[in-house]
Amino acid sequence: MIHVQNLTFSYSKFPFIENMNFEVGKGEIFGFLGPSGAGKSTLQKILIGLLTNYTGSVQVNGCETKRKNRNFYEHIGIDFEFPSFYEKFTAAENLNFFASLYQMPCIPTKDLLAMVGLSADADKKVSGFSKGMKSRLNFVKSLLHRPDILFLDEPTSGLDPTNSKQMKEIIADCRDKGTTIILTTHNMYDATELCDRVAFIVDGSIKALDTPHNLMLAKKENILEYSYLENGVEMQKQTPLKTVSEDTLLQNLIAENALLTIHSKEPSLEDVFREITGRELK
Ligand SMILES: Nc1ncnc2c1ncn2[C@@H]1O[C@H](COP(=O)(O)OP(=O)(O)OP(=O)(O)O)[C@@H](O)[C@H]1O
Ligand SMILES: [Mg+2]
- pLDDT reported for residue 222: 82
- pLDDT beyond 80 at 282: no
Q: Say how many Å lie between the CA of residue 43 and the centre of ligand 2.
A: 9
3-state secondary structure (DSSP) of residue 109: helix
CB atoms within 10 A of CB 173: 11
pLDDT in tens, 1-26: 999 999 999 998 788 999 999 999 99
Domains, the chain: 2-217 (3.40.50.300), 222-266 (no CATH)
- pLDDT reported for residue 14: 80
With pLDDT > 90 as the criterion, what percentage of the chain qualifies? 79
The model carries a pTM of 0.86
- pLDDT reported for residue 266: 79
- pLDDT beyond 90 at 197: yes
Answer for the pair 265, 224: CB distance below 8 angstroms, yes or no: yes
Whether 38 lines ligand 1, by a CB cut-off of 6 Å, is yes
Q: What are phi and psi of 79, to 5 degrees?
A: -110, 95
Cα dihedral value 218, 220, 226, 231, nearest 10: 150
Sheet hosting strand 2-9, strand order edge to edge: 17-24, 2-9, 55-60, 63-64
**Does 189 or 180 have the greater pLDDT score?**
180
- pLDDT reported for residue 60: 97
Rg value, the chain, Cα: 23
Mean pLDDT, rounded, for 236-264: 94
Supply the mean pLDDT for the chain.
93
Mean pLDDT, rounded, for 79-91: 92
Name the residue with the closest Cα to ligand 1, atom 3.
11
Name the residue with the closest Cα to ligand 1, atom 24.
36
- pLDDT beyond 90 at 212: yes
Q: In the chain, where do the E strands start and end? A: 2-9, 17-24, 29-33, 55-60, 63-64, 76-79, 149-153, 180-185, 197-202, 205-210, 223-230, 233-240, 259-265
Name the residue with the closest Cα to ligand 1, atom 6.
11
CA distance 30 to 52: 22
With pLDDT > 70 as the criterion, what percentage of the chain qualifies? 100
- pLDDT beyond 80 at 219: no
Q: Say how many Å lie between the CA of residue 153 and the centre of ligand 2.
A: 7
- pLDDT beyond 90 at 217: no
CA angle 191/4/184 to nearest 5° reads 20
Whether 82 lines ligand 1, by a CB cut-off of 6 Å, is no
- pLDDT reported for residue 133: 93
pLDDT in tens, 164-187: 999 999 999 999 999 999 999 888
- pLDDT beyond 90 at 79: yes
**Does 216 or 208 have the greater pLDDT score?**
208
- pLDDT beyond 90 at 216: no
CA distance 91 to 127: 10
